Amino acid sequence: MAQIFHPSTNTISRATIFGAVFIIAFGFWMALKIERSPFVTYAGVARPQPVPFSHKHHVSGLGIDCRYCHTSVENSRFAGIPPTKTCMNCHAQIWTKAPMLEPVRESYRTGKSLVWTRVNDLPDFVYFDHSIHINKGVGCNTCHGPVDKMPFMYNYASLHMEWCLDCHRAPEKNLRPRDQVFNMRYQPPTPDSPVGIDGRMFFDQQSLGLYLVSKYKLRTVTDITSCSTCHR
């Protein structure tokens, strides 16, 4: 019987199959890159707000503590968005005619809340509790980044599950004394700049972190990496 296909067809078929595999793999790789890019996560991207609020000015410039505005952060799941009257505690006396603050004054006059755009916004299927992290010695800037240097607030991290798990698998790398949680300039201990707690001096983060894991009674790594810890 005469040969129907030319011998080169075999080579073309193999190239087509292998090419399809590489194209599909490349497609998955591109999808993964896009999913982790600022285009999707908004990491490093400042979002528009009804008022151009500067954390850099209020935190670094004026020295306002995080808890003055985020009042529930120590005892609630939510850090809390400050009501307009919190803003007006100061702005009823200073910058009272500033055009950029007119939305704040209008909100105060009408009682209609400002609609802020949430920056660090986790999906609804994720359970996160601010108070737990703070009481276990996780600093604000560990997750939120250098807020005191942000003229406009942006996502510091991707907030992907893998990013959270990196910390949950080795929490000692990010723990600090509770009285330093709100210190935006806190630095981990070094031989030249040790950190003291409970009458002990620590010269590296590993030893301090392991001590705090025990002192603050953190659950085991198995527990805090369990699916049910964050997905309830």
Write down the pLDDT at residue 5.
65
**Range of the structural domain that residue 21 is part of:** 11-38
Of residues 203, 145, 136, the one with CA closest to residue 175:
136
Domain count for the chain, please give it: 2
Q: Is 134 contained in some domain?
A: yes
Residues 222 and 127 in one domain: yes
User: How would you write the pLDDT of the chain (232 residues) with one tens digit per residue?
Assistant: 566 766 666 777 777 887 888 888 888 888 777 777 777 777 888 888 999 999 999 999 999 999 999 999 999 999 988 999 999 999 999 999 999 999 999 999 999 999 999 899 888 999 999 999 999 999 999 999 999 999 999 999 888 899 999 999 999 999 999 999 999 999 999 999 999 999 999 999 999 999 999 999 999 999 999 999 999 8
CA distance 28 to 24: 6
Write down the pLDDT at residue 22.
82
Q: Is 141 contained in some domain?
A: yes
Q: Is 102 contained in some domain?
A: no
Q: Is 218 contained in some domain?
A: yes
Write down the pLDDT at residue 109.
95
Of residues 110, 173, 166, the one with CA closest to residue 138:
173
Q: Is 67 contained in some domain?
A: no
The pair phi, psi for residue 190, each rounded to 5°, is -135, 165
Write down the pLDDT at residue 1.
53
Contact (CB, 8 A) for 167 and 182: no
Write down the pLDDT at residue 204.
97
Write down the pLDDT at residue 2.
61
Residues 31 and 131 in one domain: no
